[in-house]
């Protein structure tokens, strides 16, 4: 038979809403990282991210989170997030990420070359660390998608067929 205090204790626990696992994890990460949130110090290349996923998939026992964190010199939290992510880029995004990574490498090696470090041959071929500087024609450019937000009103209404009165103005514009 339950005592009066046991009943009170049951009422308190049942009145509180039970948090889902993701809510508990989110609040723990907020306590851990504070207001700044998750900002890893080290960035891994897309190839390294794919390598981490492939190693873990091949043998999760051998390539556990701690082992991968030690080998790639990142935190276990970073490895956990990499393995948890399910997003896969499409072909255009893969190419865009590759170009961004190359341009990031050029910037990093320029800074290192200015501090006296000799860049690898790949980056020297692009002009990093040479007296002439980086050759823009050798550094790949990103192909940014053109947005239609910069269109003038004349560009928008140019495709409208004025002879088709059956459509509303919104249907004719879209």
Query: Chunked in runs of 10, what are the mean pLDDT values of the chain (174 residues)?
Result: 60 66 86 74 85 94 94 90 90 89 89 90 84 72 65 66 60 56
Q: Collapse the DSSP code of 131 into the 3-class scheme (helix H, G, I; strand E, B; otherwise coil) and give the result.
A: coil
State the burial class of residue 40 (Cβ atoms within 10 Å of its Cβ: 0-12, 13-18, 19+). exposed
Residues ≥6 apart with Cβ < 8 Å to 164: 172
Per-residue model confidence (pLDDT) at position 174? 56
CA distance linking residue 24 with residue 31, whole number of Å: 11
Q: Domain locations in the chain?
A: 19-84, 91-138
Tell which residue, 62, 77, 68, has the closest CA to residue 48. 68
pTM, rounded to two decimals:
0.53
The pLDDT assigned to 15 comes to 47
Q: Are 121 and 134 in contact (CB under 8 A)?
A: no
Contact 83, 54 (CB under 8 A): no
Task: Return the pLDDT at 14.
Answer: 52
Note the pLDDT of residue 9. Answer: 60
**For residue 40, what are the contacts with CB-CB under 8 A and spacing of at least 6?**
74, 75, 78
Query: Using an 8 Å Cβ cutoff, are 103 and 140 in contact?
Result: yes
pLDDT of residue 63: 94
- The two three-digit tokens of residue 109, written as one number: 């090696």
User: What confidence score (pLDDT) does residue 87 get?
Assistant: 86
């Amino acid at each position: 038979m339950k005592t009066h205090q046991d009943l009170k204790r049951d009422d308190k626990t049942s009145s509180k809403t039970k948090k889902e696992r993701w809510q508990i994890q989110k609040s723990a990460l907020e306590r851990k990282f504070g207001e700044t949130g998750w900002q890893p110090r080290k960035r891994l290349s897309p190839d390294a991210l794919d390598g981490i996923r492939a190693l873990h998939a091949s043998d999760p026992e051998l390539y556990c989170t701690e082992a991968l964190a030690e080998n790639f010199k990142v935190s276990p939290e970073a490895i956990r997030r990499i393995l948890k992510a399910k997003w896969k880029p499409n072909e255009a995004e893969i190419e865009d990420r590759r170009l961004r990574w190359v341009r990031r490498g050029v910037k990093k090696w320029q800074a290192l070359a200015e501090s006296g470090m000799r860049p690898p041959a790949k980056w020297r071929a692009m002009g990093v660390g040479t007296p002439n500087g980086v050759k823009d024609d050798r550094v790949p450019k990103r192909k940014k998608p053109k947005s239609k937000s910069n269109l003038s009103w004349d560009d928008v209404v140019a495709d409208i067929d004025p002879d088709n009165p059956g459509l509303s103005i919104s249907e004719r514009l879209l």
